[in-house]
């Protein structure tokens, strides 16, 4: 190796031992290589994996970590053990990245070992000079370059190894034993058809269990040997467990590696937690390639304010028009919008509310858009099922009218139409699989065409849709603005706010008030109902009566409301109650981009509110395509045909 090569070396030195050892080497005149740029840290255990990656990213040819001797010299008891565990995890990662293991070294040097410090630094500098400059060849390590068959790869092995640092943290907190974990051979588990759990990957941190407890559901329990025990009868499939698994977080080290190695556009660069959604991407890809299938797509209100984050956009950036173009490029035959069926939902649910108010029927009326909330009522409060609006969710209304009204209009065999739904929600996978949601097939059987097929065929979470785009080399943020196809694509501002807490209530009141009073609602914003609080209440004069409404998110709050109603309390006197399971509504859904937090959820909410205000029409009953479907097909809200296609019944699922 040419003597002209001067390696860039970084050293992370423990304040109490190795840094002091370096001082001693200097004062003792021990000759040593001074090319190592020393960074003093309080403990070797404080050297985060991201520090090492950042050093290599910034041009370091080698990194050395030095700390107190094992087992008992650490001033913080176990920091050196954590450093060792991280170092051991780094070894296979460096090997896969094509980086020689010698470029990262770990040594124990006490404050009294000046000579050892000098020798270690001399040897380290010599080793790196012999290795030469650090050069990365992405094709050498990229799993997709090694395996061109994307169907055989579900998770990037490089990202998977980085996620093992979370296991190291769990081990330092005595949650697991890393050696024992490497030998686990437990069977995976599922909460069909929404949730998948890998107990061998799990770090036993209990974050998912706590998330479930926070919802007041407690469908998950921790078992030291088996990992998480899943109770399918209790689970509502909300996916908040998925959102809280640390193995699914894109923490700093993952972000740095993706930036360093230019992996952001890779479909497999998103970490997958030990508990995650059942992936339907390959199922949708197969449908898109099937010449016998006519594949149509709908996308939920909240998706347009969140999916851009996976492609570098800020939270809350509305990408509706870019989504239309991206979905078209992906190969879908028709690009439609769940916002259309959200407007349709308001017509049905709003007129149902008017009927209940006018004819002294069961009150309060509960919203029924959230499938996790619906299952919660069926499971824990079946006596309150009559309070649920019989109106289907926008997803299921869309599937029913796509395979009846739209299929007839565009002359497509409904049995060959394949409806894909892009949702912020894992519970939507459960919802589309419910036995009762085959109303399009039932409709056509009455018209002489037999068949047995669901209204909605596949559900992709926001994360899965981003993965689909990346598999097809579609960069969402570089797409030109597009438009939805006719019939089921037009929407009003009332529809887009379905994606945040208070949105369904606000949209319903805009229409119900105007239908009853014959004039527009004065304050159509109803901002108090959209605040990021778990429970909001209001009262409006409608038809000479004071209509009391409430908006809630989180099932623990929902449980409180249900208990109060059963006891004849304050909420039993309310008329209309919106409940969303996830924090902030669908903007915090279990299928959204990870990580999701309050700041991001509020930014997404602001984006949806702006989209509402930017629409030329902001009340569902003003949607021209909604007027058309009633004129051409349904006749009127809550008609007999509407009842068969757009409304449903509920099933008691009490825990025995």
Phi, psi of 527 (to 5 degrees): -60, -30
The pLDDT of residue 162 is 93
Q: Are 613 and 642 within one domain?
A: yes
The catalytic residue positions are 349, 352, 369, 389, 428, 431, 436, 586
Contact 418, 457 (CB under 8 A): yes
Quick one: which H or E segment has residue 18? helix 18-27
* Residue with token string 């039993």: 572
Q: Are 418 and 468 within one domain?
A: yes
> Does the pLDDT value for residue 38 go beyond 50?
yes
**Rounded-to-integer distance, Cα 94 and Cα 87, Å:** 10
Q: Establish if 437 belongs to a structural domain.
A: yes
Q: Establish if 512 belongs to a structural domain.
A: yes
> Does the pLDDT value for residue 1 go beyond 70?
no
Q: Establish if 141 belongs to a structural domain.
A: no
**Rounded-to-integer distance, Cα 77 and Cα 67, Å:** 12
> Does the pLDDT value for residue 97 go beyond 60?
yes
Quick one: which H or E segment has residue 172? helix 157-172
Residue 254: closest CA among 321, 165, 377: 165
Q: Are 369 and 394 within one domain?
A: yes
Distance of CA 218 to the CA centre of its chain: 20
Q: Establish if 78 belongs to a structural domain.
A: yes
What tens digit of pLDDT does each residue of 494-509 get? 999 999 999 999 999 9
87-96: Cβ within 8 A, 24+ apart:
89/49, 89/161, 89/164, 89/165, 89/167, 89/168, 90/49, 90/52, 92/161, 93/158, 93/161, 93/162, 93/164, 96/141, 96/157, 96/158, 96/161
Burial 483-500 (b: 16+ CB within 10 A, else e): ebbebbbbbbbbbbbbbb
Q: Are 324 and 424 within one domain?
A: yes
| Domains: count for the chain | 3
Residue 456: closest CA among 418, 425, 494: 418
Q: Which residue has the higher pLDDT, 431 or 448?
A: 431
Say if strands 294-299 and 417-423 run parallel, antiparallel, or are unpaired. parallel
Burial class (CB within 10 angstroms; exposed 0-12, middle 13-18, buried 19+) of 369: buried
102, 117, 136 - which closes a domain:
136
Distance of CA 348 to the CA centre of its chain: 29
Which residues partner with 14 through β-bridges? 41
The range of the structural domain enclosing residue 128 comes to 9-136
Q: Establish if 210 belongs to a structural domain.
A: yes
Q: Are 239 and 178 within one domain?
A: yes
> Does the pLDDT value for residue 138 go beyond 70?
no
136, 163, 190 - which closes a domain:
136
Q: Establish if 220 belongs to a structural domain.
A: yes
Q: Establish if 652 belongs to a structural domain.
A: no
Q: Are 91 and 107 within one domain?
A: yes
Q: Establish if 655 belongs to a structural domain.
A: no
111, 136, 161 - which closes a domain:
136
Q: Are 320 and 256 within one domain?
A: no
Q: Are 131 and 270 within one domain?
A: no
* pTM score of the predicted model: 0.94
Q: Are 538 and 477 within one domain?
A: yes
147 — pLDDT class (breaks 50, 70, 90): low
What tens digit of pLDDT does each residue of 271-297 get? 999 999 999 999 999 999 999 999 999
> Does the pLDDT value for residue 144 go beyond 70?
no
**Rounded-to-integer distance, Cα 396 and Cα 399, Å:** 5
């Amino acid at each position: 190796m040419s003597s002209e090569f001067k390696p860039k070396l970084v050293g992370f030195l423990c304040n109490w031992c190795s840094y002091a050892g370096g001082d001693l080497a200097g004062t003792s005149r021990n000759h040593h290589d001074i090319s190592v740029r020393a960074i003093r840290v309080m403990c070797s255990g404080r050297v985060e994996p991201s520090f090492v990656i950042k050093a290599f990213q910034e041009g370091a040819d080698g990194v050395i970590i030095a700390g107190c001797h094992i087992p008992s010299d650490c001033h913080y008891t176990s920091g050196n053990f954590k450093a060792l565990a991280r170092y051991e995890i780094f070894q296979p990662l460096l090997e896969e990245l094509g980086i020689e293991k010698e470029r990262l070294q770990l040594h124990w040097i006490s404050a009294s070992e000046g000579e050892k410090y000098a020798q270690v630094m001399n040897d380290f500098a010599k080793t790196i000079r012999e290795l030469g400059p650090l050069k990365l060849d992405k094709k050498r390590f990229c799993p997709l370059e090694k395996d061109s068959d994307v169907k055989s790869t579900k998770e990037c092995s490089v990202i998977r190894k980085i996620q093992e640092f979370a296991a190291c943290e769990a081990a330092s907190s005595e949650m697991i034993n890393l050696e024992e974990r490497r030998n686990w051979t437990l069977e995976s588990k599922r909460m069909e058809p929404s949730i998948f759990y890998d107990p061998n990957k799990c770090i036993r941190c209990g974050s998912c269990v706590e998330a479930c407890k926070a919802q007041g559901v407690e469908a998950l329990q921790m078992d030291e040997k088996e990992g998480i025990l899943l109770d399918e009868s209790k689970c509502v499939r909300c996916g908040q467990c998925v959102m809280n698994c640390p193995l699914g977080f894109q923490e700093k080290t993952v972000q740095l590696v993706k930036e360093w190695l230019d992996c952001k556009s890779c479909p497999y660069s998103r970490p997958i937690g030990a508990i995650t959604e059942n992936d339907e991407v390959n199922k949708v890809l197969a449908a898109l390639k099937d010449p016998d299938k006519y594949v149509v797509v709908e996308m939920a209100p909240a998706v347009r304010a969140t999916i851009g984050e996976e492609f570098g956009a800020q939270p809350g950036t509305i990408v509706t028009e870019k989504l239309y173009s991206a979905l078209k490029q992906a190969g879908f035959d028709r690009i439609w919008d769940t916002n259309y069926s959200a407007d349709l939902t308001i017509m049905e649910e709003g007129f149902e509310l008017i009927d209940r108010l006018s004819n002294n029927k069961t009150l309060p009326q509960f919203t029924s858009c959230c499938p996790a909330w619906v299952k919660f009522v069926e499971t824990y409060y079946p006596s309150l099922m009559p309070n649920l609006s019989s109106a289907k969710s926008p997803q299921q209304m869309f599937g029913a009218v796509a395979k009846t009204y739209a299929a007839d209009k565009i002359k497509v065999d409904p049995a060959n139409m394949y409806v894909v739904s892009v949702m912020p929600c894992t519970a939507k996978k459960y919802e589309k699989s419910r036995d009762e949601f085959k109303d399009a097939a039932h409709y056509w059987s009455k018209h002489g065409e037999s068949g047995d097929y669901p209204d909605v065929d596949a559900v992709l979470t926001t994360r899965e849709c981003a993965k689909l785009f990346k598999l097809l080399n579609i960069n969402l943020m570089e797409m030109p603005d597009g438009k939805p196809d006719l019939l089921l694509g037009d929407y009003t501002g009332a529809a887009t706010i379905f994606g945040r807490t208070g949105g369904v209530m606000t949209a319903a009141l805009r229409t119900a008030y105007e239908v009853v009073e014959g004039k527009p609602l004065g304050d159509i914003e109803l901002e108090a109902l959209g605040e990021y609080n778990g429970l909001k209440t209001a009262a409006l004069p409608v038809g000479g009566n004071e209509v009391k409404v409430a908006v809630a998110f989180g099932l623990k709050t929902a449980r409180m409301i249900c208990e109060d109603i059963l006891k004849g309390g304050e909420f039993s006197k309310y008329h209309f109650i919106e409940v969303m399971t996830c924090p902030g509504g669908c903007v915090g859904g279990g299928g959204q981009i990870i990580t999701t937090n309050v700041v991001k959820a509020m930014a997404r909410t602001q984006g949806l509110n702006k989209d509402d205000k930017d629409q030329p029409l902001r009340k569902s009953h003003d949607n021209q395509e909604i007027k058309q479907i009633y004129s051409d097909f349904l006749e009127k809200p809550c008609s007999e045909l509407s009842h068969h296609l757009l409304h449903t019944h509920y099933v008691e699922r009490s825990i025995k």
